[in-house]
Amino acid sequence: MTLCALGLWCASAHGQRLWGRSAGSVGSGGLTSTSLYCASEGVNPSGPAYVGRLTVTASVVVPYGLAELAETSGAAILPAKLCVVTVKVGASGNEWSRFATFGADVSRRFGRVAIGIGYRGLTHKLRFSESGRSSMTICGASFRPDERWEIGVAARNIEGRRLKRGGEETRLGRTLWASAKWRAPRVFGIGAEMEKESGKDAAAHVGVWLEPGGGLRFTAGFSTSGAEIGAGAGYERETWGVRAGVAHHQHLGVSGGAAITFHPDWP
């Protein structure tokens, strides 16, 4: 029951991470809407519009050293003629309390601007209770004035949907993100993000990354949410890449994550 209580507390305290936490965000200060590796990690549904090829990503995160609460996720970005379609799935928790998530986004570029809209589904299963379910929308926009800058905004659950279980309902927060990213091509970059969920304090995330060459990438970051400090590394090739990250929360301890990305040839 201790793990059940901890799982519920983590979901309540960090509910915004149900669709955004990944190996890349763990190692870069919790950045999500400005992805440092692959747009499939981001919560901003407009991000995949900038991806020009099929991309498949799988990720696992172990929060606070508790393997029983491991978070697994996968995403596929499917470029099409008129738009880019993104599909995401995820699961987290343990035998007492388990979350399952599903998402589908559509995005498109209009010159230097990209817009996206998507659907998010959530199921929460308790061992000795009925399953709770909810769904909501997410929307976002990104602007790239040049090759170095990217600015983005996103909003999730603006309709105020709730998690329904039998005759009970649990409030799910509305979440807003505003982010900016700057990079010197193939050398260095920095990203900053403000995140505000209704009923909770705003959180700031700052991440930096260095690309020394040879496909290597190193990241570091800081989040005001729990004064969390993270670091990570990755290796990228033309058709695949791997990465890993760790983060230390001042109260909850160390989290770690790893991910692999493939870019299969488009038929």
Does some domain include residue 104? Answer: yes
Residue from 107, 156, 155, 115 nearest 134 by CA: 156
Question: Is residue 170 predicted with pLDDT exceeding 70?
Answer: yes
Question: Is residue 21 predicted with pLDDT exceeding 70?
Answer: no
Counting the structural domains of the chain, the total is: 1
- The pLDDT assigned to 33 comes to 64
Q: What percent of the chain has pLDDT over 70?
A: 88
Distance CA 255, CA 8 (A): 17
**CA angle (252, 258, 262) in 5-degree steps:** 150
Segment 24-30 shows an average pLDDT of 79
What CATH number did the domain enclosing 155 receive? 2.40.160.60
Does some domain include residue 228? Answer: yes
pLDDT in tens, 108-125: 999 999 999 999 998 988
Token duo for residue 252: 């909850």
Does some domain include residue 58? Answer: yes
Mean pLDDT of the chain: 83
Confidence band for 86, pLDDT divided at 50, 70 and 90: very high
Q: What is each CA distance from 132 to 14, 71, 135, 165, 203, in whole angstroms?
A: 18, 19, 11, 4, 27
The domain containing residue 177 runs over which residues?
2-262
**Residue 98 neighbours by CB under 8 Å, 6+ apart:** 91, 92, 124, 125
Adjacent-strand bridge partners of 142: 114, 152
Does some domain include residue 144? Answer: yes
Confidence band for 105, pLDDT divided at 50, 70 and 90: very high
- The pLDDT assigned to 185 comes to 73
Q: pTM for the full model?
A: 0.84
Question: Is residue 154 predicted with pLDDT exceeding 80?
Answer: yes
Does some domain include residue 267? Answer: no
Does some domain include residue 253? Answer: yes
**Is the separation of the CB atoms in 150 and 168 below 8 Å?**
no
Question: Is residue 14 predicted with pLDDT exceeding 60?
Answer: no
